[in-house]
Structure 1
Amino acid sequence: MLPGCGLHPLYAGGGSGPVAAALAGVEVAPIEGRGGWLIANALRQRFAADGQTPRYRLDVKLDDQIAGLGVRGDDSVVRERRILRARYQLVDAGSGTVVLDATAGSDAGIDVVGSEYATIAAENTAQERLADIVADQIVARVAVYARRAAAQP
């Protein structure tokens, strides 16, 4: 009944399917900064490289910002917004051709409290959550690309 509606499972074939094989062939290039380290580790976990020669290289550039939103009467910030955006390119390792060029991103609100330590801890926790969200978005988009590439003759 599912093929009748035009939908096809993304991970058809499970761990031995074409999408899983393509994801296992992605090498994540180093990404600058703490946020880059978090995203690179999350991506490596999700791609689960199997030791084969990489078919693709993933290049990621991050834009990580914190902006103050609410202001008290004494001009101190009450709330912050952490924004993490990633521009990424999937590059064919054999030819050096960019086969996918896209962006991913998310944001989180942070309460600024009286304790500077608590505020910094909240900023770091937000960065960790955002890194996981952005990594999930990137993997999903690469998986869709791999599915379409596998479907082409």
Structure 2
Amino acid sequence: MSKRLFLLAPLFALAGCGLQPMYAGGGNGQVASALANVSVAAIEGQSGWLVRNALVDRLGAGAKGGDARYRLDIRLDDRVEGLGQLSNDTITRERRTLRARYQLVDTQSGDVVLDATAGSDAGFDVVNSEYAVIAAEQTALENLSQEVADQIVTRVAVRLREAR
């Protein structure tokens, strides 16, 4: 009996802590409905196109456009820089960094509800094949776009949950 009580004690403590699942209710839940009311403004460049598509996928109906309650404005900074260097000044490793400054704007009042940043970086080797280096840069950008979009959606979901 005491063994069972010992095993159940953490569950009772967790139940009283006030934690609630963010996506309770699935696609019809409070957070999912709020995210569906977020439109994503166009973002410049290839990295912008990738980030915007990732955001629209994650927001559900976030591509609604004009009738959305919120608008997400994003500015990206995409950089590739050399890291490793041989004695003959040949670059052997590069790092791609993708940073986003974003604002969640209430379209009814024009107020900025959230002003934040997100970002990530990835490293890759520079090899003799130019094709392989270009493919590595592109793969890094695609992965970084997904990661930055995940960070943005998580932060927006938390903010919209707090607002309700």
Q: Which residue of 2 aligns with 1:37?
A: 49
Q: Which residue of 2 aligns with 1:134?
A: 148
Sort the Cα spacing of 1:149 and 1:137 in 2 relative to 1 into closer, same or farther, 3 A. same
Unmatched 5+ residue regions in structure 2? 1-11
Q: Distance in 2 between matches of 1:101 and 1:18?
A: 22
* Matching residue within 11, 18, 23 for 2:30: 18
Contact 1:18 1:146 in 2 (8 A): no
TM-superposed CA distance for 1:3, in Å, is: 3.9
- Aligned partner letter, 1:84: L
Q: Distance in 2 between matches of 1:38 and 1:143?
A: 20
- Aligned partner letter, 1:94: Q
TM-superposed CA distance for 1:147, in Å, is: 1.1
* Matching residue within 115, 124, 140 for 1:110: 124
The ranges of structure 1 where at least 4 consecutive aligned residues each deviate by more than 3 angstroms after the TM superposition are none
Q: Deviations over 1:48-103 (max 9, x none)?
A: 11758201000000000011001112211000010000000000011111000000
TM-superposed CA distance for 1:13, in Å, is: 1.9
- Aligned partner letter, 1:4: G
TM-superposed CA distance for 1:123, in Å, is: 0.3
Q: TM-score, normalised by structure 2?
A: 0.88
Look at both structures and tell me which one has the larger radius of gyration over its CA atoms. 2
Q: Which residue of 2 aligns with 1:125?
A: 139
For this pair of structures, how many residues does the alignment match? 150
- Return 42-51 or 128-137, whichever deviates more: 42-51
TM-superposed CA distance for 1:106, in Å, is: 0.4
Q: Which residue of 1 aligns with 2:96?
A: 82
Q: Which residue of 1 aligns with 2:83?
A: 69
Q: Distance in 2 between matches of 1:30 and 1:65?
A: 20
- Aligned partner letter, 1:131: S
Unmatched 5+ residue regions in structure 1? none
Identity %, equivalent residues: 65
